[in-house]
Amino acid sequence: MKLAVTGANRGIGLALVKEATQRGCETLACIRSEENTTAVEGLSQVSVALADVRDPIALNNAAQSFGPLDLVVANAGRFIGRWGIEDPAYTPEAFQEVLMTNVAGVFFTARAFLSYLTSPGGKVAVISSFSASNTIKCTGDRYIYRASKAAVTNIATNLAVELAEKGIAVGAYDPGSVQTDMYGKKPGAELSPSEVAKRLMDRFEALSMKNTGVFENYAGRKVPY
Ligand SMILES: NC(=O)c1ccc[n+]([C@@H]2O[C@H](COP(=O)([O-])OP(=O)(O)OC[C@H]3O[C@@H](n4cnc5c(N)ncnc54)[C@H](OP(=O)(O)O)[C@@H]3O)[C@@H](O)[C@H]2O)c1
């Protein structure tokens, strides 16, 4: 299998690249800063493209450099503002940064790789979050992040409808609470990136036209949305 992963230099993205290597896949690691490309150095069958997901031209160049592929994983994400409405982290710049990365960035990623995806049979995996859900775990906080994940899950559902005629399946995935820079420094993070990467790769393998539009967690449980 050939796949591309955004945000591939650390956290879940890097673990996905390593898991893909274990499975004998050929992977394009999309990383936004040249100095962070050392994270994937020495991994077999891994090539690197420099791409900030807010930059459609960089993503188009990345997709073109890799050519035909079976799966694109829109993983890159930002988290700013943890607390309630008075948290000073909720600035206009923070809204712009998180929504551009977590929502527009996923849209631009899917669009850039779309014409290179196997058709029929290609797949788009969007890394969302249980925070997207209006029906579970709404604790009155993380305003920008929750809104971004709700929006990107909507994009995944919408894409699944549009890409059905090309035979391209789209899924949105909640990786759970994972020990990464984003969440890992707090005790609530239960899972290691490598454990989650294995489970997510299994979910991506299980994605097909039969379950396109799915929003499920790393263990395959449907996330109410
Ligand atoms: N960790 C969790 O518990 C958890 C739970 C639910 C969902 N998620 C989702 O899982 C995904 C991965 O998160 P993580 O926990 O692995 O976070 P992380 O350790 O903070 O890694 C985030 C990755 O995204 C990249 N990134 C951020 N902004 C980018 C941009 N504009 N363009 C390209 N790359 C960018 C980062 O690159 P730099 O190193 O250059 O910043 C880094 O590689 C995210 O979508 C996140 O929302 C995580």
Pocket test for ligand 1, best of 55, 57, 102, 182 (most atoms within 8 A of CB): 182
Q: Helix, strand or coil for residue 148?
A: helix
Q: How far apart are CA 160 and CA 164, in angstroms?
A: 6
Share of the chain above pLDDT 90, in %: 93
Inside any domain, residue 141: yes
190 CA to centre of ligand 1 in angstroms: 17
Total structural domains within the chain: 1
Inside any domain, residue 224: no
Inside any domain, residue 122: yes
Inside any domain, residue 77: yes
Return all residues near 175 (Cβ < 8 A) that are at least 6 apart.
Answer: 12, 127, 129, 191, 196, 200, 217, 218
Inside any domain, residue 113: yes
Inside any domain, residue 222: no
**Confidence label for 136 from pLDDT (cuts 50, 70 and 90):** confident
Inside any domain, residue 225: no
Inside any domain, residue 171: yes
Range of the domain at 107: 2-217
Q: How far apart are CA 58 and CA 56, in angstroms?
A: 6
Q: Is the CB of 11 under 6 A from ligand 1?
A: yes
CATH of the domain at 71: 3.40.50.720
Q: Is the CB of 49 under 6 A from ligand 1?
A: no
User: Given this model, what pLDDT does residue 21 score?
Assistant: 98
